């Protein structure tokens, strides 16, 4: 038997064809005696037309097949691991301990431990895990309760700067650090509340609480951030000034100190310096680094003038004083110094360290002062006080030349409330943490201490190694020892002074060599002295082409009075045979021309000083 629709062979008559699914009910009504061919040819066309429309039984079959197909598809898992849940990985952070330090809290060194936790952990759960970790590895932990703190000693409740409850992932996103660089701290709740309350030290309660806290002894200069300590030299070679020294300094003068320091100088031997005014520093370095150089020898300085002729002079030291003056001027512009004009301090410079320039700079200053030259007059008072062993430190934000650091410190200085100050310290936490100034803020007044500590670190502590090498250079001719013994007298030699030379000082300093009274020449000389006094006033008031310092430099080789005093005493002589001024810096002699009018005198003085060797080098 065959299906009349698809021709599939059927072993027996069924209700539906197993191949095409069509209904075969109509075959039951056919005559069984009639041949298969006749039955198919007689009934097929009519019945086939009747079954062109789907019957209800066929719809049920199709629905059944569709249901089964959907059922089979529901068991298909698709690609492997499509529905596999991703495992959450724990991240590593760090947990430390905070302990009281006076009215503040500070991290306890050596107690930082790693903690692996869920990145979605909230503050209470993180606190429990941290306490469990700490108690596991530290059997001496005090009984709680504990609080969880940020590095700035504020409690971990919200994400900083927001009102959102703390979550580790959100905190990590806000702070912008890797998980491994995030550190939280545990602190006893009693200690945390005690520091926040800042009780008066005179109350009995504060005495009791202080007696229960064991604070380990630490150096005064240190960071308040975990695992960070300010560098502090082991050998403090700067003793503090004794009160009894004050009486001694009343009976000693600055020239006396310099005279005592200059006793070891052997004037029978010389150290040679060949200097070009166009490059004073290069010639000075060559001279000081020469193997035959000794600071106990006198100095023989040879200048190369514009014509290429060597100007040699030793005598009483005119070229030497000029050379040392130019050297101090060039020294202040070296990259080993930073800071505003007149208040410069030492900074670390890798190339200068390799060249040992800090030692060389210290030696140059000591040699200049003891050999009759000027002091630097550009060092910061705070650096000089530190060198002299005096505790005074009065630096301001204006001492820093880095604009970003100045802006950050000014924001802290201008904070008007505790919340604003805490926000500022948190915003600049990286900068403050580097300097060891990141701490818990309990009052607005703490901003002064934060700024002062940062300035001390920026100017002194971070440059301690090069300052020590600078001290070694200053030790030449025992100058550094003298600075420690007589800081009140020697400190002004190194620091900037607002008081410059005045016209009256020069007028009194230079003594005229006059002709006998009543002579015609004496009258001309007296008139010229009047021109001289007026010319100095014009220089002081800026009405001349040169300054008072230029005039003093022309006559003595110095721009200021040297610490050792000026020997021999300056004097004025008069010229008949030249319309221009002349000078002998070895004998400190200024020779003035005898001219008819002040206008001519001023013009010739300006021209003569401006065209003298070395003018404009200072």
| CATH code, 143 | 3.10.20
104 inside domain: yes
The pLDDT score that the predictor gives to residue 617 is 55
Q: Which of 456, 466, 463 is nearest to 222 (CA)?
A: 456
CA 189 – CA 142 distance, rounded (Å): 11
Choose the final residue of a domain: 212, 231, 257.
212
CA 45 – CA 503 distance, rounded (Å): 140
Residue 486 tokens read as 């007589």
Same-domain status, 439 and 520: no
Q: Are 403 and 392 in contact (CB under 8 A)?
A: no
At residue 415, φ and ψ (nearest 5 deg) are: -60, 130
Beta strands 571-575; 511-512: pairing state: parallel
78 inside domain: no
Q: Are 397 and 410 in contact (CB under 8 A)?
A: yes
Q: Which of 131, 116, 120 is nearest to 189 (CA)?
A: 131
Burial class for 195, CB neighbours closer than 10 Å (0-12, 13-18, 19+): buried
The pLDDT score that the predictor gives to residue 547 is 94
DSSP calls for 172-204: HHHHT--GGG-EEEEEEHHHHHHHHH---TTSH
79 inside domain: no
181 inside domain: yes
Residue 305 tokens read as 């003038």
227 inside domain: no
Q: What's the pTM value of the predicted model, to 2 decimals?
A: 0.60
pLDDT digits (tens, 9 = 90+) for 52-109: 454 557 777 888 888 888 887 776 555 554 545 555 688 889 888 888 877 788 888 7
At residue 99, φ and ψ (nearest 5 deg) are: -130, 160
Residue 181 tokens read as 């660089």
Return the CATH number at 479. 3.90.1750.10
Question: What are the C-alpha distances in Å from 256 to residues 184, 266, 476, 586?
Answer: 60, 18, 18, 22
Same-domain status, 455 and 531: no
Q: Which of 591, 611, 499, 599 is nearest to 548 (CA)?
A: 499
Give me the residues paired with residue 303 across strands: 275, 311
User: Hunting for tokens 């606190």 — which residue is that?
Assistant: 127
Same-domain status, 576 and 595: yes
220 inside domain: no
Same-domain status, 39 and 97: no
Same-domain status, 361 and 490: yes
- Residue 591 DSSP class: E
Same-domain status, 401 and 269: no
Q: Are 311 and 613 in contact (CB under 8 A)?
A: yes
pLDDT digits (tens, 9 = 90+) for 170-214: 888 888 888 888 999 999 888 888 755 544 444 444 443 343 334
Q: What total number of domains does the chain contain?
A: 5
Q: Are 270 and 298 in contact (CB under 8 A)?
A: yes
Same-domain status, 410 and 323: no
Same-domain status, 149 and 137: yes
The pLDDT score that the predictor gives to residue 77 is 56
Mention every residue, 6+ apart, whose C-beta is less than 8 A from residue 608: 580, 581, 582
76 inside domain: no
Rounded (5°) CA angle 541-585-367: 100
CA 319 – CA 274 distance, rounded (Å): 11
Q: Which domain holds residue 387?
A: 245-393+465-494
End-to-end C-alpha distance for the chain, whole angstroms: 128
404 inside domain: yes
Same-domain status, 288 and 407: no
Q: Which of 553, 607, 541 is nearest to 580 (CA)?
A: 607
Same-domain status, 149 and 262: no
Cα dihedral 149, 153, 154, 158 sign? negative
Choose the final residue of a domain: 170, 194, 212.
212
CA 140 – CA 205 distance, rounded (Å): 25
The pLDDT score that the predictor gives to residue 64 is 84
Same-domain status, 435 and 561: no
Return the CATH number at 594. 3.30.2410.10
Give the strand order in the sheet containing 582-584: 511-512, 571-575, 589-593, 582-584
Task: Tell me the average confidence (pLDDT) per consecutive run of 10 residues in the chain, 618 residues long.
Answer: 77 80 74 45 45 59 84 65 60 88 80 88 90 84 86 87 87 85 88 63 40 40 41 46 46 90 92 91 95 93 66 64 94 95 95 96 97 95 94 92 94 94 93 91 93 95 95 95 93 89 94 93 95 96 94 93 90 94 92 95 94 64
Same-domain status, 17 and 114: no
SS3 annotation, 40-91: HHHHHHHHHHHCCCCCHHHHHHHHHHHHHHHHHHHCCCCCCCCCCCCCCCCE
């Amino acid at each position: 038997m065959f299906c009349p629709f698809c021709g599939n062979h059927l072993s027996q008559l069924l209700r539906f064809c197993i191949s095409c699914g069509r209904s075969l009910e109509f075959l039951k009504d056919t005559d069984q005696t009639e041949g298969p061919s006749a039955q198919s040819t007689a009934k097929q066309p009519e019945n086939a037309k009747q079954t062109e429309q789907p019957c209800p039984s066929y719809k049920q079959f199709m629905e059944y097949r569709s249901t089964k197909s959907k059922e089979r598809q529901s068991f298909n898992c698709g690609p492997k691991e499509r529905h596999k849940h991703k495992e959450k990985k724990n991240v590593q952070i760090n947990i430390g301990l905070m302990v009281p330090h006076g009215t503040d809290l500070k991290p306890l060194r050596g107690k930082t431990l790693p903690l692996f936790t869920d990145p979605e952990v909230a503050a209470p759960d993180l606190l429990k895990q941290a306490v469990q970790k700490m108690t596991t590895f530290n059997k001496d932990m005090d009984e709680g309760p504990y609080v969880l703190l940020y590095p700035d000693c504020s409690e971990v409740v919200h994400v900083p700067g927001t009102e959102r409850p703390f979550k580790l992932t959100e905190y990590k996103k806000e702070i912008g650090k890797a998980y491994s660089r995030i550190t939280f701290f545990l602190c006893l709740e009693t200690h945390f509340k005690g520091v926040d309350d800042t009780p008066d030290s005179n109350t009995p309660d504060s005495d009791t609480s202080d007696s229960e806290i064991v604070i380990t002894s630490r150096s005064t200069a240190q960071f308040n951030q975990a695992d960070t300590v300010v560098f502090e030299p082991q050998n403090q070679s700067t003793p503090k000034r004794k009160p009894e020294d004050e009486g001694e300094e009343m009976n000693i003068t600055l020239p006396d100190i310099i005279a005592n320091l200059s006793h070891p100088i052997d004037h029978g031997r010389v150290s040679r310096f060949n200097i070009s005014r166009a490059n004073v520093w290069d010639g000075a370095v060559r001279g000081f680094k020469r193997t035959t150089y000794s600071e106990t020898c006198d100095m023989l300085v040879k200048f190369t003038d514009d014509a290429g002729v060597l100007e040699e002079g030793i005598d009483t030291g005119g070229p030497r004083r000029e050379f040392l003056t130019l050297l101090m001027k060039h020294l202040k512009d070296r990259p080993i110094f930073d800071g505003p004009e007149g208040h410069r301090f030492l900074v670390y410079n890798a190339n200068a360290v390799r060249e040992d320039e800090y030692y060389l700079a210290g030696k140059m200053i000591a040699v200049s002062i003891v050999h009759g030259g000027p002091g630097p007059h550009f060092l910061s008072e705070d650096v000089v006080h530190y060198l002299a062993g005096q505790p005074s430190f009065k630096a301001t934000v204006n001492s820093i030349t880095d604009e970003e650091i100045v802006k950050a410190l000014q924001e802290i200085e201008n904070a008007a409330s505790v919340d604003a100050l805490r926000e500022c310290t948190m915003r600049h936490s990286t900068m403050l943490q580097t300097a060891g100034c990141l701490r818990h803020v309990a009052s607005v007044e703490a901003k002064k201490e934060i700024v002062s500590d940062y300035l001390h670190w920026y100017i002194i502590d971070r440059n301690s190694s090069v300052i020590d090498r600078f001290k070694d250079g200053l030790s030449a001719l025992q100058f550094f020892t003298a600075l420690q013994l007589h800081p009140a007298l020697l400190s002004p030699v190194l620091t900037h002074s607002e008081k410059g030379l005045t016209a009256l000082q020069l007028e009194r300093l230079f003594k005229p060599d006059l002709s006998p009274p009543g002579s015609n020449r004496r009258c001309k000389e007296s008139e010229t002295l009047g021109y001289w006094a007026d010319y100095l006033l014009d220089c002081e008031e800026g009405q001349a082409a040169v300054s008072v310092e230029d005039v003093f430099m022309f006559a003595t080789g110095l721009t200021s009075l040297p610490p050792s005093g000026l020997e021999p005493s300056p004097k004025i002589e008069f010229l008949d045979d030249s319309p221009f001024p002349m000078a002998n810096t070895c004998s400190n002699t200024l020779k003035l021309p005898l001219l008819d009018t002040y206008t001519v005198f001023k013009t010739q003085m300006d021209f003569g000083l401006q065209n003298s060797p070395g003018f404009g080098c200072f």
